[in-house]
A and B are shown apart, each in its own frame.
Chain A
Amino acid sequence: MTPIRANGAIRNGLIAFAFLGYLILIGIPGRIGGAALPVLALVAALFFWVRLRRDASGTDGSFPQTASPTGKPGWEIGAPGHTVSQEQVMPLPGAGGALAIRSGLLAGITTGLLIAIVSFAFASAIGSGASIQPVLDKIVPVNVAALIGVSPGQIANDEVPTLRYLLLVLIFTAAGLLAALAVVAARVRNPQKAPVARLSKSLDSQLYRTVARFTGILLPFLLLAYIAWLGIPGVSAFGSNEGTVRLLLTLIATGSGLFALRLVRPGREQNVVAPLLALGALTMPFILDQFQNSVMGLVFIFVMMGLGLNIVVGYAGLLDLGYVAFFAIGAYTYAFLSAPFSSPYISSLLNLLAISPEIPLLGYWTALPVAMLTAAIGGILLGIPVLRLRGDYLAIVTLGFGEIIRLFMLNLGELTNGPRGILEISQPGLFGLAPQSFSSGFLSSQGWIFLLALISSALVAFVAIRLNDSRLGRAWFAMQEDEDVAEATGVHLVRTKLLAFAIGATFAGMAGQLYASRQINIFPENFSLFVSIDALALIIVGGIGSPAGIVLGALALKGLPEVLRGVDEYRIVTFAALLVIMMIVRPAGILPSARRRTQVAAPDEQALTPGAEEPVAKELDGDTARQAQAASPQSEAVRDKEDQ
């Protein structure tokens, strides 16, 4: 139609191509294999659907306005060239639909043509023997073949039929058409006018809500059952990649478990579902195999790290980029205590004291308080010099501290064995039982680590959540907002800051100890700056200040890269892309913090049930709560006002 609109459609096509091109460059089609083309087309269709739906709702004026979703037809009055008549306010699926279809087709053709051109270029380059692999290392016959839908041999011999490229164009055009039809269908079905239709819609949505809620609650259990079923020898779902598929499903199951926890209503429902979810989580280590358990163990070690760092960064607002230091302190403390023979200095010291260095000094559980305490002392030692620093300066100094610890580990050869690391760190036992006695058979050794990580992170999460609502937590938040005012209300800044550093470091120490026993051998290189960055990235992606968000962040940033092992070199690029997308789509993280107090207890559900109780913070006492309830009609009026 008008040039602007065509540009919009082509732009959609270009963006879809850019995204798909990235997936191709990092070798995704080759990993998916035969299903690559449909999967890519589906991704494109989803993208087109989102864009077309947005365009159709008129937020950027691509279509002549029909009914705007807010029900405010006056929105476009000021726009030049728009005369809002009654007909235009009414939904006109025909006219808008034709536009949507044209737009979808154009976007699809654009994407399809570009992908066809690029794959043709790649195929002929490979076919003619040009070496593009040094530059684009994933552009190999397998990958390109999967993209075009032929066998790798055909690529290598340059035997791709030209019709294949036409098929590529057609597939993506079909994706665009499909997206457009979905948008149009939704509009035809949803005329938003007649009262009868509105009533049926609301019934529909009530039913829909209930169904969606129960599906959400059941999903983790179903996934878990499926994962367990896949674990039975002989059962296979997707052929050779079964382990990866199970890992992916495990990540999704864990994430959906967290969402299920948010979906249950407080009261009896919660009392039944929450323990079941916990039980489900605890069965995971027994169901998974060694590989999946080791990944999940790492994920939950990072959950502990994230929860600890969240106290420093999210609660107290002290940007700490050297958090890996405490992780390293915890790990090395346990290493010294459980493998004294591999540190020359400690063995000689023990020889001097006539203690045999051949047996571990302390077991896992007795060493735990020592590791935590050492890390806490490290936290305080870091905290003291940086008490007066704020913001950027604090970040730089802590960054240095993290590196100092790593360089210590690297260069104090007598104590830490330098780059050769500390070897044969012992595994956690249980009530005097050696780890080997129960790590075989039904629980793998990595499963045992995962189980411990799960339980420890649950404990840490409990402490973190309690701290969030405590007096100390309030002091941290007040300090984050304004140090001077917080001090003037009686907050002891030094003590409060040092407590944040110490508690955060304690959690990292716990995580570090578990990490050391998971790795068995640790080296200074395990504790690079990237560990700090990972921990920080996962709390930002998950939602600063929100424990559930941190678990999701850890699943996404530590779990997903393992699923996409083939693209591991691109992990940092993927991180960056993920962070940028996150910051645009959900600036506060996947699950933002519950600290935004107004949103406690699902405000939209309250709006549905009139007379619902006011969400009452319970800090001060019961009397205040009662007063707050008495005041609730007014506050609801206030909220109504805000809604508009």
Chain B
Amino acid sequence: MLILDTVHTYYGHIHALKGISLTVNQGEIVTLIGSNGAGKTTTLNTISGVLPARAGAIYLQENALGHGPGPSGRDSGSDIRLDQLPAHQVARLGVSQSPEGRKIFARLSVQENLAMGAFARADADGIRQDLERVFQLFPRLQERLSQPGGTLSGGEQQMLAIGRALMSRPRILLLDEPSMGLAPILVQQIFQIIREINGQGMTILLVEQNAQAALHIANRGYVLETGNIVLSGNAEELLANPLVAEAYLGI
């Protein structure tokens, strides 16, 4: 449902993504692994429109299962070019990002943070349902409803970031390093929740440094190195691949 076709992204003169092509199918967890500076976060930011792609195309399949209609004037069933849209419109089309380093709104309360997730929506009933769903996934958030986001612990902030991303009822969830800076037990918990969300039908593109954990829950994976995709395949294949094992799994 999400297709990247030879996408190039630059930071000024620095060529960060050198022709990335990848596909995420409906209902999958696809993981993007690689070392620091490989371009993982850049890829997500390019998809969500925070960074502009200078060449290539990003398509979101319109007929993919989801809620509202696409922007008017387009045939349903056709693909939408995300790379030509500003970030806020990409978000409204159902691409939701939980950013690296969580980046919750520290001075807004937990409730307001979640409300910001549903910012683009107007269906009060749907928002209420999704709020309940988020509380089922993360009961901690419900306990801290009126607390400012910045006073939460790291793990709770990560839960809030994922919850906020889910509140937009996305078609595809972009998770950027959900395990960053968390204790191993919390990492395990977060990954379990990611699998649970996926089990409810959510398509997920997961960026991770923790390749082992990511490949264990993913269907497929791409290995990114200095802006290029160097390997791709099923998660099991990648786990077994000696190159991956050496470079990213520390075996």
Is residue B211 contacting chain A, with contact meaning CB distance below 8 A? Answer: no
In angstroms, Cα B128 to Cα A628, docked, is: 13
- Determine whether the beta carbon of B107 is less than 8 Å from that of A595: yes
Interface window among A50-58, A153-161, A483-491: A483-491
- Determine whether the beta carbon of B50 is less than 8 Å from that of A488: yes
| Chain B residues within an 8 Å CB radius of A595 | 107
In angstroms, Cα B144 to Cα A600, docked, is: 14
Interface window among A134-142, A200-208, A440-448, A470-478: A470-478
| Chain A residues within an 8 Å CB radius of B143 | 631, 634-635, 638
| Chain B residues within an 8 Å CB radius of A76 | none
Is residue B193 contacting chain A, with contact meaning CB distance below 8 A? Answer: no
- Determine whether the beta carbon of B109 is less than 8 Å from that of A624: no
- Determine whether the beta carbon of A481 is less than 8 Å from that of B108: yes
- Determine whether the beta carbon of A624 is less than 8 Å from that of B112: no
In angstroms, Cα B142 to Cα A614, docked, is: 12
In angstroms, Cα B148 to Cα A600, docked, is: 12
Of A474, A598, A631, the residue contacting B148 (CB under 8 A) is A598
Is residue A597 contacting chain B, with contact meaning CB distance below 8 A? Answer: yes
0/1 interface trace, chain A 616-631, chain B, CB 8 Å (1 if under): 1101110110011001
| Chain A residues within an 8 Å CB radius of B48 | 488
- Determine whether the beta carbon of B87 is less than 8 Å from that of A487: yes
Q: In the complex, which of the residues B48, B108, B127 has the most CB atoms of chain A within 10 Å of its own CB atom? A: B108
In angstroms, Cα B90 to Cα A544, docked, is: 33
In angstroms, Cα B119 to Cα A627, docked, is: 21
- Determine whether the beta carbon of A477 is less than 8 Å from that of B99: no
In angstroms, Cα B128 to Cα A58, docked, is: 52
0/1 interface trace, chain A 583-611, chain B, CB 8 Å (1 if under): 00000000000011110100000000000
Find the B residue at minimum CB distance from A625.
B145
Of A486, A600, A621, A624, the residue contacting B116 (CB under 8 A) is A486
Of B91, B144, B146, the residue contacting A489 (CB under 8 A) is B91
Tell me the residues in window 106-161 of chain B with beta carbons closer than 8 Å to chain A beta carbons. Answer: 106-109, 111-112, 114-117, 119-120, 124, 127-128, 131-132, 135, 142-148, 151
What is the minimal beta-carbon distance from A613 to any residue of chain B, in angstroms?
Answer: 12
What is the minimal beta-carbon distance from A15 to any residue of chain B, in angstroms?
Answer: 35
Known A481-B106, A597-B109, A620-B111; contact A487-B50, beta-carbon cutoff 8 A: yes
Tell me the residues in window 306-337 of chain A with beta carbons closer than 8 Å to chain B beta carbons. Answer: none
Is residue B43 contacting chain A, with contact meaning CB distance below 8 A? Answer: no
In angstroms, Cα B108 to Cα A598, docked, is: 10
0/1 interface trace, chain A 204-226, chain B, CB 8 Å (1 if under): 00000000000000000000000
Of B91, B124, B132, B146, the residue contacting A490 (CB under 8 A) is B91
In angstroms, Cα B120 to Cα A529, docked, is: 39
Known A596-B148, A620-B131, A635-B144; contact A490-B109, beta-carbon cutoff 8 A: no
In angstroms, Cα B148 to Cα A422, docked, is: 50
In angstroms, Cα B120 to Cα A490, docked, is: 5
Of B88, B105, B111, the residue contacting A619 (CB under 8 A) is B111
Q: In the complex, which of the residues A482, A488, A638 has the most CB atoms of chain B within 10 Å of its own CB atom? A: A488
What is the minimal beta-carbon distance from A465 to any residue of chain B, in angstroms?
Answer: 16
Tell me the residues in window 150-204 of chain B with beta carbons closer than 8 Å to chain A beta carbons. Answer: 151, 164, 168
- Determine whether the beta carbon of A490 is less than 8 Å from that of B119: yes
- Determine whether the beta carbon of B142 is less than 8 Å from that of A489: no
- Determine whether the beta carbon of B112 is less than 8 Å from that of A617: yes
Find the B residue at minimum CB distance from A638.
B143
Known A490-B92, A621-B128; contact A482-B103, beta-carbon cutoff 8 A: yes
In angstroms, Cα B26 to Cα A105, docked, is: 81
- Determine whether the beta carbon of A488 is less than 8 Å from that of B87: yes
| Chain A residues within an 8 Å CB radius of B42 | none
0/1 interface trace, chain A 507-544, chain B, CB 8 Å (1 if under): 00000000000000000000000000000000000000
- Determine whether the beta carbon of B88 is less than 8 Å from that of A620: no
Find the A residue at minimum CB distance from B150.
A481
- Determine whether the beta carbon of A596 is less than 8 Å from that of B50: no
In angstroms, Cα B141 to Cα A628, docked, is: 10
In angstroms, Cα B111 to Cα A488, docked, is: 18
Known A487-B87, A623-B128; contact A631-B142, beta-carbon cutoff 8 A: yes
Is residue A8 contacting chain B, with contact meaning CB distance below 8 A? Answer: no
Is residue A407 contacting chain B, with contact meaning CB distance below 8 A? Answer: no
Is residue B31 contacting chain A, with contact meaning CB distance below 8 A? Answer: no
Is residue A265 contacting chain B, with contact meaning CB distance below 8 A? Answer: no
Tell me the residues in window 251-278 of chain A with beta carbons closer than 8 Å to chain B beta carbons. Answer: none
Is residue A615 contacting chain B, with contact meaning CB distance below 8 A? Answer: yes
What is the minimal beta-carbon distance from A411 to any residue of chain B, in angstroms?
Answer: 40
Is residue A395 contacting chain B, with contact meaning CB distance below 8 A? Answer: no
- Determine whether the beta carbon of B135 is less than 8 Å from that of A477: no
| Chain B residues within an 8 Å CB radius of A624 | 111, 128, 131, 145
Of A481, A490, A598, the residue contacting B88 (CB under 8 A) is A490
Of A471, A490, A492, A615, the residue contacting B168 (CB under 8 A) is A490
| Chain A residues within an 8 Å CB radius of B151 | 598
In angstroms, Cα B151 to Cα A620, docked, is: 21
Q: In the complex, which of the residues B90, B109, B132, B144 has the most CB atoms of chain A within 10 Å of its own CB atom? A: B109
Of A482, A484, A598, the residue contacting B146 (CB under 8 A) is A598
| Chain B residues within an 8 Å CB radius of A174 | none
Is residue A245 contacting chain B, with contact meaning CB distance below 8 A? Answer: no
| Chain B residues within an 8 Å CB radius of A489 | 91, 96, 116-117, 119-120, 164, 168
Find the B residue at minimum CB distance from A616.
B146
- Determine whether the beta carbon of B105 is less than 8 Å from that of A482: yes
- Determine whether the beta carbon of A493 is less than 8 Å from that of B88: yes
| Chain B residues within an 8 Å CB radius of A600 | 146
In angstroms, Cα B147 to Cα A616, docked, is: 10
| Chain B residues within an 8 Å CB radius of A627 | 135, 142
| Chain B residues within an 8 Å CB radius of A634 | 143
Is residue B9 contacting chain A, with contact meaning CB distance below 8 A? Answer: no
In angstroms, Cα B110 to Cα A631, docked, is: 14
Is residue B97 contacting chain A, with contact meaning CB distance below 8 A? Answer: yes
In angstroms, Cα B105 to Cα A484, docked, is: 11
Q: In the complex, which of the residues A485, A491, A492, A616 has the most CB atoms of chain B within 10 Å of its own CB atom? A: A485
- Determine whether the beta carbon of B142 is less than 8 Å from that of A597: no
What is the minimal beta-carbon distance from A475 to any residue of chain B, in angstroms?
Answer: 7
- Determine whether the beta carbon of A615 is less than 8 Å from that of B146: yes
Of B96, B97, B108, B115, the residue contacting A620 (CB under 8 A) is B115
In angstroms, Cα B142 to Cα A628, docked, is: 7
In angstroms, Cα B145 to Cα A474, docked, is: 16
In angstroms, Cα B158 to Cα A193, docked, is: 46
In angstroms, Cα B97 to Cα A525, docked, is: 51
Q: In the complex, which of the residues B103, B111, B117, B164 has the most CB atoms of chain A within 10 Å of its own CB atom? A: B111
| Chain A residues within an 8 Å CB radius of B108 | 474, 477-478, 481, 597
In angstroms, Cα B102 to Cα A481, docked, is: 13
| Chain B residues within an 8 Å CB radius of A485 | 99, 103, 105
Residues of B within 8 A of A (CB): 48-50, 86-88, 90-92, 96-97, 99, 103, 105-109, 111-112, 114-117, 119-120, 124, 127-128, 131-132, 135, 142-148, 151, 164, 168
A488-B49, A493-B88, A615-B146 are known contacts; what are 10 more A-B pairs with Cβ within 8 Å?
A475-B119, A482-B105, A488-B91, A596-B148, A597-B108, A620-B127, A623-B128, A624-B111, A631-B142, A638-B143
A-B pairs, top 5 by smallest CB distance, nearest first, are A490-B120, A490-B91, A487-B87, A597-B109, A481-B105
Please, could you name 15 A-B residue pairs with CB atoms under 8 Å apart, sorted by A? Answer: A474-B119, A482-B105, A485-B99, A486-B105, A489-B96, A596-B107, A597-B147, A598-B146, A600-B146, A614-B146, A617-B112, A617-B146, A619-B111, A635-B143, A635-B146
Residues of A within 8 A of B (CB): 471, 474-475, 477-478, 481-482, 484-493, 595-598, 600, 614-617, 619-621, 623-624, 627-628, 631, 634-635, 638
